């Protein structure tokens, strides 16, 4: 039986001669029926409640010789009435014009205040019941007895008996007995609802374990999508929704976007977007972590009125949106909606829906992190190349140390030999020959490095200078902080792109930055700052690395780009020399300005890319 | 510049780089040291060069056995020589390990002549001290060997601080006899005084307070 038909209280009938008052025998028989039904409903399973009620209505109709018995429910919030069960004698079983609850204003008010409606003929109705009387007349009701149905002290509906063929007298005892019967029905229905909620909860738990198993065994994203869509279908069906949608939060604006969906039929498809501009209240609530739930548009609170036009145009009648939180943030939401009818999504199921949804969201977040991992791996490959250059430089430094150490030893030996009264010329000759050989060896190594820098490993591409600089600043940020040196990056808007090898240019900037940090750290200046400034220059982009460090005198400045010239105790004298090689290989220039105590500025100029 | 004679000691240079080896050999040789070079630590171990006074100048990182491995292995074999480490890329943990192992110095390549010459001179001086100590111990042992068994017993008891009377009781002889033994022990050991004799017995590792008579 469809329990969701629009309100019907009484169906049409033809006029039939009045019936005599119910006899004592009738009452006794009703008493027996009542006792029998009360006993029978006690051990009833939830599944047979509906049939038992309909059967009871049939027996009441037969026993009392009336034409129709209806069980009516009142919607919890709106108070609107709807037919839950009905039995009509065969002669009147035909469909007839359906009255709506607005057609019985007096009767509804009376029932909801707990009073019965009893009339043998329409003429007994008071003047204020004129609308109701007109409706009854129109549908052909001659006599009517309607008693409120109380469940746990609350009026949840009514049981109505109607006579179409003839007028019917309703003894007072019948009115009270019918009230008791209504309560029996009400309790049975409450039990059935509780039972169904429990079943739904159990179904959810089963669904959760099934989905978990399915998700754990699927690795491919498309398989996972199928599992999620099946999960939405199952949840939607358990909840009686017309559509179930998994939304993801759109980061840069107040909105949610569909990622997965199930629809009961193609007749109604929920929209792909829930945008804050058309559904401000819902989106704000859900984004803030609150559940949105309404069984009818009229249930929405006043602050949600801005959403009503959009909901109406979409065709939503009932809705439940559960925010899904992963690592403390609302990243997704599950939305269940109906368009065909109003539905009360049970509050008790929200925690389960949330749990299931969050399992889905976590799985999807894992996919997302997998994608991010791939990106990170690409970045790591880039970093590895930078590292490889570093390792190459380190091994080269070690190799270079050998001839340099040998040369220093030989040179100092030579000086000492010459100081002797009679210098050993053979020894001196051998010493100088060794020095020449080792010098050649050192030069070869440096050329090897230069070749490495110019080799195919060079990856040229169009570069955004700002990106290049930001990455390098990140690299040295920790070291700078540890040495109490502040780093500042200033770049002009819309710098032209340059063509070059990202890694090599980063090596250059890295080298200049480390030198600058060393210079600042060595000084006692109060302005412990290194500034990296990027802007336009005549033919492209200029990058300046400025430090407020110890600075250099003119003599030092003149030599800093020479290979093996260094002022650092452990320096190799290679950094600036190689840096200049790299910049020149890019068609640019690297120059320096400095004054002792005033700091230094190194300036790179790179030509803009032709495009 | 101090002139060094051959007797001043030998310097064993170990480096896998031929240029460095040649240059160091020349530098140290022309500065007056007797120098022997080795292309690897294994080469050094295999040739096991002998010299009363000597030191090792070795590279840290070499193919096969490293300088630190050599240091550990020589110490274990009981033939440790003072060592000077030279390295192309000195890192702190390596330096610490080498110094803890008794290294004289740890020099980063390239190094100045005065640094290497000072380090080598110091290493040889250490070797000389060790040699002296070794010679002293050797003489002491020889002198101890020359004592009769009874004189050794007397030495141990005297070193333990016992008076002649007690020693006589212990050994069951007359006090006068102990006096004679004691005089002979002092003479044979070349001890100038009683404290001198006690120090000698300590260096010999005699068990003080032991009772040789009951052994």
The 10s digit of each residue's pLDDT in A534-556 is 999 888 999 999 998 888 888 88
Q: How far is A410 from chain B (nearest CA, A)?
A: 5
| Ranges in chain A annotated CATH 3.30.450.40 | 24-195, 218-345
pLDDT in tens, A264-293: 887 788 888 888 888 999 999 999 999 999
Given this model, what pLDDT does residue B215 score?
38
pLDDT of A602 higher than 90: yes
Distance CA B203, CA B141 (A): 9
**Between chains, do A413 and B30 touch, taking CB under 8 Å as contact?**
yes
The DSSP element (H or E) to which A19 belongs, if any, is none
Residues in chain B with CB shorter than 8 Å from the CB of A421 are none
**Between chains, do B110 and A424 touch, taking CB under 8 Å as contact?**
no
> Under CATH, which number does the domain B146-214 receive?
1.10.10.10
Residues in chain A with CB shorter than 8 Å from the CB of B31 are 413, 416
Strands (E) across A16-139 are located at 68-74, 81-88, 117-119
Q: Which architecture characterizes domain A460-607 according to CATH? A: 2-Layer Sandwich (3.30)
Pick the closest to residue A403 from A448, A431, A447, A443 (CA basis).
A443
Residue A564 φ/ψ region, left for φ over 0, alpha for ψ in the -120 to 50 degree band, beta for the rest: left
**Between chains, do B17 and A441 touch, taking CB under 8 Å as contact?**
no
The DSSP element (H or E) to which A202 belongs, if any, is helix A172-216
pLDDT band at residue A250, thresholds of 50, 70 and 90? confident
CATH says A24-195 is which class?
A: alpha beta
Interface check for A408 against chain B (CB to CB < 8 A): the answer is yes
Q: To 5 degrees, how large is the angle CA A53–CA A57–CA A59?
A: 115
- Which candidate from A397, A407, A427 shows the least CB-CB separation from B30? A427
Pick the closest to residue A83 from A98, A63, A64 (CA basis).
A98
pLDDT of A334 higher than 60: yes
What is the β-pairing status of strands A243-250 and A529-537? unpaired
Q: How far is A397 from chain B (nearest CA, A)?
A: 8
Given this model, what pLDDT does residue A13 score?
39
Helix/strand/coil for B117 = helix
Distance CA A98, CA A82 (A): 12
Q: How far is B28 from chain A (nearest CA, A)?
A: 9
Helix/strand/coil for A487 = strand
Given this model, what pLDDT does residue A394 score?
63
Residues in chain A with CB shorter than 8 Å from the CB of B11 are none
pLDDT band at residue A413, thresholds of 50, 70 and 90? very high
pLDDT in tens, A364-409: 777 777 777 666 665 655 555 555 566 566 667 777 888 989 999 9
Residues in chain A with CB shorter than 8 Å from the CB of B111 are 405, 408-409
What Cα–Cα distance (Å) separates residue A542 from each residue in A406, A459, A538, B42, B102?
41, 21, 9, 56, 54
Helix/strand/coil for A393 = helix
pLDDT of A7 higher than 50: no
**Between chains, do A404 and B30 touch, taking CB under 8 Å as contact?**
no
Interface check for A412 against chain B (CB to CB < 8 A): the answer is yes
**Between chains, do A441 and B113 touch, taking CB under 8 Å as contact?**
no
- Which candidate from A401, A416, A417 shows the least CB-CB separation from B109? A401
Given this model, what pLDDT does residue B206 score?
65
Distance CA A344, CA A523 (A): 74
Given this model, what pLDDT does residue B36 score?
96
* Length in residues, chain A: 611
Q: What integer is the mean pLDDT of A597-601?
A: 88
**Between chains, do A405 and B86 touch, taking CB under 8 Å as contact?**
yes
Residues in chain A with CB shorter than 8 Å from the CB of B88 are 397-398, 401-402, 405
Interface check for B112 against chain A (CB to CB < 8 A): the answer is yes
Of residues A197 and B119, more confidence is placed in: B119
pLDDT band at residue B82, thresholds of 50, 70 and 90? very high
pLDDT of B22 higher than 80: yes
Interface check for B113 against chain A (CB to CB < 8 A): the answer is yes
pLDDT band at residue A610, thresholds of 50, 70 and 90? confident
Residues 35-94, chain A, touching B (beta carbon < 8 A): none
For B115, nearest residue in chain A (alpha carbons)? A409
For A414, nearest residue in chain B (alpha carbons)? B27
pLDDT of A194 higher than 90: no
Given this model, what pLDDT does residue A73 score?
85
**Between chains, do B110 and A410 touch, taking CB under 8 Å as contact?**
no
Q: How far is A610 from chain B (nearest CA, A)?
A: 44
Residue A603 φ/ψ region, left for φ over 0, alpha for ψ in the -120 to 50 degree band, beta for the rest: beta
Q: How far is A380 from chain B (nearest CA, A)?
A: 27
Q: How far is A437 from chain B (nearest CA, A)?
A: 9
Q: How far is B116 from chain A (nearest CA, A)?
A: 9
> Under CATH, which number does the domain A370-454 receive?
1.10.287
Cis peptide, bond prior to residue A443, ω within 30 of zero: no
Q: How far is A477 from chain B (nearest CA, A)?
A: 23
pLDDT in tens, A115-154: 999 999 999 999 999 989 998 888 888 999 999 998 877 8
Given this model, what pLDDT does residue A40 score?
77
Residues in chain A with CB shorter than 8 Å from the CB of B1 are 416
> Under CATH, which number does the domain A218-345 receive?
3.30.450.40
Among A7-16, A494-503, B106-115, B124-133, where is mean pLDDT lowest?
A: A7-16
Given this model, what pLDDT does residue A379 score?
62
pLDDT in tens, A302-311: 999 999 999 9
CA A59 to chain centre: 55
Distance CA B83, CA B37 (A): 14
Interface check for B39 against chain A (CB to CB < 8 A): the answer is no
- Which candidate from B1, B23, B108 shows the least CB-CB separation from A409? B23
Given this model, what pLDDT does residue B116 score?
94
Average pLDDT of chain A to the nearest whole number = 81
- Which candidate from A408, A427, A441 shows the least CB-CB separation from B110? A408
For an interface test with B, the pick among A390, A393, A409 (most B C-beta atoms closer than 10 Å) comes out as A409
Among A356-360, A437-441, A477-481, B85-89, where is mean pLDDT lowest?
A: A477-481
pLDDT of A331 higher than 80: yes
Of residues A565 and A5, more confidence is placed in: A565
- Which candidate from A402, A407, A431 shows the least CB-CB separation from B17? A402
What is the β-pairing status of strands A529-537 and A540-547? antiparallel
State the distance between the two ends of chain A, measured CA to CA, in whole angstroms.
74
pLDDT in tens, A441-476: 888 777 766 665 554 455 678 888 988 888 788 777
Interface check for B154 against chain A (CB to CB < 8 A): the answer is no
- Which candidate from A405, A417, A441 shows the least CB-CB separation from B110? A405
Specify which residues A329 forms β-bridges with: A326
The DSSP element (H or E) to which A473 belongs, if any, is helix A465-482
Distance CA A597, CA A523 (A): 8
**For the domain with range B6-135, which CATH number is right: 3.40.50.300, 3.90.76.10, 3.40.1390.10, 3.40.50.2300?**
3.40.50.2300
pLDDT of B114 higher than 80: yes
Interface check for B30 against chain A (CB to CB < 8 A): the answer is yes
pLDDT band at residue A20, thresholds of 50, 70 and 90? very low
pLDDT of A21 higher than 60: no
pLDDT in tens, B141-175: 888 888 898 898 898 888 888 888 999 998 888 99
- Greatest mean pLDDT among A25-39, B62-76, B200-214 lies in B62-76
Helix/strand/coil for B55 = strand
B140 neighbors B176 (Cβ within 8 angstroms)? no
The domains of chain B are located at 6-135, 146-214
Interface check for B22 against chain A (CB to CB < 8 A): the answer is yes
pLDDT band at residue B6, thresholds of 50, 70 and 90? very low
pTM of the complete model: 0.39
Q: What integer is the mean pLDDT of A334-358?
A: 86
DSSP letter at A140 equals T
Of residues A180 and A601, more confidence is placed in: A601
**Between chains, do B22 and A441 touch, taking CB under 8 Å as contact?**
no
For an interface test with B, the pick among A395, A399, A412, A571 (most B C-beta atoms closer than 10 Å) comes out as A412
Sheet holding B105-108, edge to edge: B34-38, B10-14, B54-59, B83-87, B105-108
**Between chains, do A404 and B109 touch, taking CB under 8 Å as contact?**
yes
Interface check for A428 against chain B (CB to CB < 8 A): the answer is no
In the A/B pair of chains, how many CB contacts fall below 8 A?
A: 76
ipTM here: 0.73
Given this model, what pLDDT does residue A402 score?
87
pLDDT in tens, A33-92: 888 887 777 777 777 888 888 898 999 888 888 989 998 888 776 677 778 888 888 777
pLDDT band at residue A1, thresholds of 50, 70 and 90? very low
A579 neighbors A508 (Cβ within 8 angstroms)? yes
Residues in chain B with CB shorter than 8 Å from the CB of A427 are 26, 30
Given this model, what pLDDT does residue B203 score?
79
**Between chains, do B20 and A402 touch, taking CB under 8 Å as contact?**
yes
Residues in chain B with CB shorter than 8 Å from the CB of A402 are 17, 19-20, 88, 109
**Between chains, do A416 and B113 touch, taking CB under 8 Å as contact?**
yes
DSSP letter at A428 equals H
Interface check for A438 against chain B (CB to CB < 8 A): the answer is yes
For an interface test with A, the pick among B2, B11, B15, B20 (most A C-beta atoms closer than 10 Å) comes out as B20
DSSP letter at B44 equals H
Given this model, what pLDDT does residue A611 score?
57
Q: How far is B20 from chain A (nearest CA, A)?
A: 5
Interface check for A574 against chain B (CB to CB < 8 A): the answer is no
């Amino acid at each position: 039986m469809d329990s969701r038909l629009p309100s019907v209280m009484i169906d049409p009938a033809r006029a039939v001669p009045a019936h005599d008052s119910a006899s004592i025998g009738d009452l006794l028989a009703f008493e027996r029926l009542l006792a029998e039904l009360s006993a029978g409903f006690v051990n009833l399973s939830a599944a047979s409640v509906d049939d038992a009620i309909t059967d009871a209505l049939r027996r009441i109709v037969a026993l009392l010789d009336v034409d129709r018995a209806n069980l009516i429910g009142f919607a919890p919030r709106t108070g609107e009435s709807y037919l839950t069960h009905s039995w009509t004698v065969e002669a009147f079983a035909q469909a007839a014009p359906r009255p709506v609850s607005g057609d019985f204003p007096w009767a509804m008010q009376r029932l909801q205040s707990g009073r019965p409606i009893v009339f043998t003929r329409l003429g007994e109705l008071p003047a204020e019941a004129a609308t109701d009387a007109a409706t009854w007349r129109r549908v052909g009701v001659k006599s009517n007895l309607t008693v409120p149905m109380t469940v746990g002290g609350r009026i949840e509906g009514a049981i109505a008996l109607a006579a179409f063929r003839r007028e019917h007298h309703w003894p007072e005892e019948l009115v009270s007995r019918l009230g008791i019967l209504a309560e029996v029905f009400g309790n049975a229905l409450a039990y059935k609802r509780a039972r169904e909620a429990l079943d739904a909860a159990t179904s959810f738990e089963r669904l959760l374990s099934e989905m978990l198993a399915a998700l754990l065994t699927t690795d491919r994203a498309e398989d996972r999508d199928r599992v999620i869509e099946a999960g939405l279908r199952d949840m939607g069906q358990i909840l009686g929704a017309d559509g179930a949608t998994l939304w993801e939060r759109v980061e840069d604006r107040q909105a949610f976007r569909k990622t997965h969906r199930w629809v009961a039929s193609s007749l109604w498809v929920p929209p792909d977007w829930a945008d804050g501009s058309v559904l401000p209240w819902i989106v704000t609530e859900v984004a803030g972590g609150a559940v949105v739930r309404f069984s009818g548009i009229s249930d929405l609170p006043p602050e949600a009125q801005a959403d009503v036009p959009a909901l109406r145009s979409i065709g939503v009648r009932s809705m439940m949106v559960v925010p899904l939180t992963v690592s403390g943030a609302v990243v997704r939401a599950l939305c269940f909606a109906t368009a065909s009818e109003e539905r009360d999504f049970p509050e008790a199921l929200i925690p389960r829906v949330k749990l299931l949804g969050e399992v889905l969201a976590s799985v999807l977040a894992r996919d997302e992190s997998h994608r991010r991992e791939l990106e990170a791996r690409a970045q790591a490959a880039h970093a590895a190349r930078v590292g490889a250059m570093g390792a190459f430089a380190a091994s080269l430094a070690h190799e270079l140390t050998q001839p340099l150490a040998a040369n220093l030893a030989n040179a100092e030996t030579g000086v000492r030999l010459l100081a002797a009264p009679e210098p050993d010329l053979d020894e001196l000759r051998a010493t100088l020959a060794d020095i020449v050989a080792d010098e050649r060896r050192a030069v070869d190594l440096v050329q090897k490095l230069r070749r490495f820098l110019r080799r195919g490993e060079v990856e040229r591409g169009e570069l955004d200078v700002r990106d290049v600089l930001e990455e390098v600043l990140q690299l040295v940020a920790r070291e700078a902080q540890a040495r109490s040196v502040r780093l500042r990056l200033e770049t002009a808007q819309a710098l032209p792109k340059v063509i070059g090898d990202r890694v090599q240019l980063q090596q250059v900037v890295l080298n200049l930055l480390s030198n600058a940090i060393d210079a600042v750290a060595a000084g006692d200046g109060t302005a412990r700052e290194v500034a990296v400034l990027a802007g336009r220059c005549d033919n492209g982009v200029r990058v300046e690395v400025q430090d407020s460090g110890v600075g250099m005198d003119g003599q030092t400045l003149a030599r800093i780009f020479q290979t093996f010239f260094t002022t650092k105790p452990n320096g190799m004298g290679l950094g600036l020399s190689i840096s200049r090689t790299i910049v020149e290989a890019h068609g640019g220039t690297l120059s320096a300005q400095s004054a002792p105590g005033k700091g230094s500025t190194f300036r790179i100029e790179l030509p803009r890319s032709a495009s | 510049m101090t002139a060094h004679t051959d007797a001043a000691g030998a310097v064993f240079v170990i480096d896998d780089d031929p240029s460095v080896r040649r240059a160091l050999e020349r530098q140290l040789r022309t500065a007056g040291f007797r120098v022997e070079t080795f292309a690897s630590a294994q080469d050094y171990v295999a040739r096991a060069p002998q010299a009363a006074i000597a030191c090792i100048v070795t590279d840290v990182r070499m193919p096969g056995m490293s300088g630190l491995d050599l240091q550990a292995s020589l110490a274990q074999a009981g033939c440790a020589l003072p060592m000077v480490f030279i390295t192309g890329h000195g890192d702190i943990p390596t330096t610490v390990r080498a110094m803890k192992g008794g290294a004289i110095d740890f020099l980063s390549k390239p190094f100045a002549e005065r640094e290497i010459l000072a380090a080598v001179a110091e290493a040889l001086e250490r070797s000389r001290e060790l040699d002296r100590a070794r010679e002293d111990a050797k003489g002491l042992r020889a002198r101890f060997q020359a004592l009769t068994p009874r004189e050794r017993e007397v030495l141990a008891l005297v070193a333990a601080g016992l008076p002649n009377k007690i020693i006589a009781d212990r050994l069951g002889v007359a006090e006068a006899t102990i006096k004679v033994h004691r005089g002979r022990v002092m003479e044979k050991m070349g001890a100038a005084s009683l404290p001198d004799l006690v120090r000698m017995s300590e260096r010999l590792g005699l068990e003080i307070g032991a009772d040789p008579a009951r052994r």
